[in-house]
Amino acid sequence: MAAIGTPIGEGGIGIVRVSGPLAEEIAAKIFEPKNPVSRLSSHRLYYGKIKNLEDGSMVDEVLLTLMRKPKTYTREDILEINCHGGILVLQKVLELTLKEGARLAEPGEFTRRAFLSGRIDLTQAEAVVDIVRSKTKRALSLATQQLKGQIYEEIRNIQERIIYILSHLEAAIDFPDEDIDILNPTSLTSHMEREVIQPLKAMIAHYEKGRIYREGISTIIIGKPNVGKSSLLNVLLKENRAIVTPIPGTTRDVIEEFINIKGIPVKIMDTAGIGPPKDDIEAAGIERARERLSKAEIILFMVGVSDGLDESDFELYREVNDKPVIVILNKMDLVSENSLPIPLEAFSGKRIVRISALHNQGIDGLREIIFKTIVKDRIDSTIPLFVPNTRHKMAVEKAIHSLVQAKEGLTQAISPELIAVDIQASLDHLGEVIGVTTPDDVLDRIFSQFCIGK
């Protein structure tokens, strides 16, 4: 199978990758090394050209590597052709490999093969997606830990402990007359709780942390038209992403971008000013803003201090004040603190930040407050060794459920056969996490998130 392994576009170089038994044969047909060799050595870079099979003309000058199995990503033979980039050249080279018998790879197929060949476990395969998508260095370091197999190790350890419990049960099943010693319910249940259930619960606690690093915290800027929402987005991003004008109702669509606050990816959304709409377009924009508002995790409620507050500010504030809100007083350059025309007591209990988006003042303070809000409400700032994703979390939850059931069974002294069924189920659920007992459709879903060529 073959694919273009680099993003589509004009890059400095682009890579066509082929994996499978035909790799070497394809290289021999389409590649002409500058210094002819009888046979390509493995894991070496060769300079030469890719030629058109019909007329022998040159398609591109390339650097080519043949990696013979088993020391490769997929544990199959892999051919990598570094071309000069340019989508036409890459496509032409890819076409040549297809003509010589390769098949176009499906999304994630390289990594799927690495998984199926046993080179990596499923959590490591998923880490590949996370690494590609990482938005901050810290998110990347978490994904890299996962790639090293940390989750795999932890799950394996816990499975070992469950197997130990299971062996006790089986002994009790096989030798029913040997009596209670094999199956001491009190010590077995406390062992289960301490060595198995607690560590699994700790994994789930890591999940929320990890989700934030993976997906970012969704943070929305809302307020009346013209208070300076788009100006704030732009200063946070340090680029002129959104249109800013003195005309109220400038922004209509939701604009979203990621910023990095101390390693936490924060998704910032700029929205249409909320108030009585002047036309249908503005009304549609407001509807979109409200839709996002309902799902946002942190709300930056902005007012323009120069104009004072009116009923539509208060109305909007009432809509959001039971959520994590940071009140932003913008345009502080226009008024002095002493003559602030804002009744601050209306926002009692909320964090209030004074800024001037236009003059880039108070922005570092705002970033700090956003960080504090995230850390206080959701995560402590220590980095866990590994973090499960939603799929892992669901499987671990099922495992815990089975284990709790088994524990109850033990205390109620029901027959060991029935308890063993629950214990076995917990092992299977944990097997799903690392890909030992994962059904095919789940695998399909995981690998379809990859780009072709990964």
Ligand X SMILES: Nc1nc2c(ncn2[C@@H]2O[C@H](COP(=O)(O)OP(=O)(O)OP(=O)(O)O)[C@@H](O)[C@H]2O)c(=O)[nH]1
Q: How far is the CB of 241 from Mg ion (least distance, A)?
A: 11
Q: By rule CB under 6 A, what string of x and - marks binding of each residue 186-225 to ligand X?
A: ---------------------------------------x
Residue pair 250/243 in contact (Cβ under 8 Å)? The answer is yes
Closest to ligand X by CB, 245 or 415? 245
231 binds ligand X (CB under 6 A): yes
C-alpha distances (whole Å) from 389 to each of 116, 129, 151, 252 are: 21, 12, 10, 34
Q: How far is CA 407 from the centre of its chain?
A: 34
Smallest distance from ligand X to CB 285, Å: 9
Catalogue the E-assigned strands of 85-241.
Answer: 217-223
Among residues 356, 373, 389, 426, which is the contact residue for ligand X, using CB under 6 A?
356
User: Which one, 333 or 428, has the nearer CB to ligand X?
Assistant: 333
Applying CB under 5 A, which of residues 230, 330, 356, 402 lies at the interface with Mg ion? 230
Judge whether 46 and 31 are in contact, CB under 8 Å. yes
**DSSP letters spanning 234-268:** HHHHTS--S---SSTT---S-EEEEEEETTEEEEE
Q: How many CA atoms lie within 13 A of 109 on its CB side?
A: 17
Stretch that binds ligand X, among 149-157, 227-235, 375-383, 418-426 (CB under 6 A): 227-235
Q: Contacting ligand X (CB under 6 A), which of 20, 228, 265, 362?
A: 228
Question: Which residue's CB is nearer to Mg ion, number 94 or number 366?
Answer: 366
Interface with Mg ion (CB under 5 A), residue total: 4
56 makes contact with ligand X (CB under 6 A): no
Dist CA 425 CA 405 (whole Å)? 11
What's phi and psi for 17, nearest 5 deg? -120, 135
The footprint of ligand X on this chain (CB under 6 A) covers a number of residues equal to 23
> Is the omega angle on the peptide bond into residue 70 within 30 degrees of 0, that is, cis?
yes
- Pairing between strand 2-4 and 14-19? antiparallel
Please report, in angstroms and rounded to a whole number, the separation of the first and last CA atoms in the chain. 12
Indicate the residue among 246 and 439 with the shorter CB distance to ligand X.
Answer: 246
Smaller CB distance to ligand X: residue 216 or 249? 249
Which residues share a beta bridge with 2?
Answer: 18, 104
Length of the chain in residues, anyone?
454
Contact with ligand X (CB under 6 A) among 17, 214, 331, 429 = 331
Residue number with CB closer to Mg ion (158 or 316): 316
**In this chain, which stretch among 56-64, 107-115, 251-259, 441-449 interacts with Mg ion, using CB under 5 A?**
251-259
Interface residue with ligand X, options 14, 48, 216, 273 (CB under 6 A) = 273
Q: Segment near ligand X (CB under 6 A), from 29-37, 89-97, 340-348, 355-363?
A: 355-363
250 binds Mg ion (CB under 5 A): yes
Q: Does the protein bind ligand X through residue 229 (CB under 6 A)? A: yes
Name which of 111 and 226 has its Cβ closer to ligand X.
226
Q: Which listed residue (64, 183, 244, 419) binds ligand X by CB under 6 A?
A: 244
Instruction: With H, G, I as helix, E, B as strand and everything else as coil, classify residue 79.
Output: strand
Cβ neighbours of residue 162 closer than 8 Å, sequence gap 6 or more: 196, 403, 423, 426, 427, 430
Q: Which of 385, 384, 439 is nearest to 153 (CA)?
A: 385
Q: How far is the CB of 144 from ligand X (least distance, A)?
A: 38
Residue 134 or 226: the one with the smaller Cβ distance to ligand X is: 226
Of 216, 249, 362, 416, the one binding ligand X (CB under 6 A) is 249
Amino acid in the structure at residue 276: P
Which one of Mg ion, ligand X, none interacts with residue 330, CB within 5 to 8 A by kind? ligand X
Question: Are 397 and 376 within 8 A, CB to CB?
Answer: no
Runs of H (alpha helix) within 23-63: 23-30
Cβ neighbours of residue 220 under 8 Å, at least 6 residues apart? 268, 269, 271, 289, 292, 293, 296, 298, 299, 300
Among 333, 335, 369, 443, binds ligand X (CB under 6 A): 333
Q: Which residue is nearest to ligand X (CB)?
A: 273
Q: Which amino acid is at 292?
A: R
Binding footprint of Mg ion on the chain (CB under 5 A): 229-230, 250-251
Binding footprint of ligand X on the chain (CB under 6 A): 225-231, 244-246, 248-251, 272-273, 330-331, 333-334, 356-358
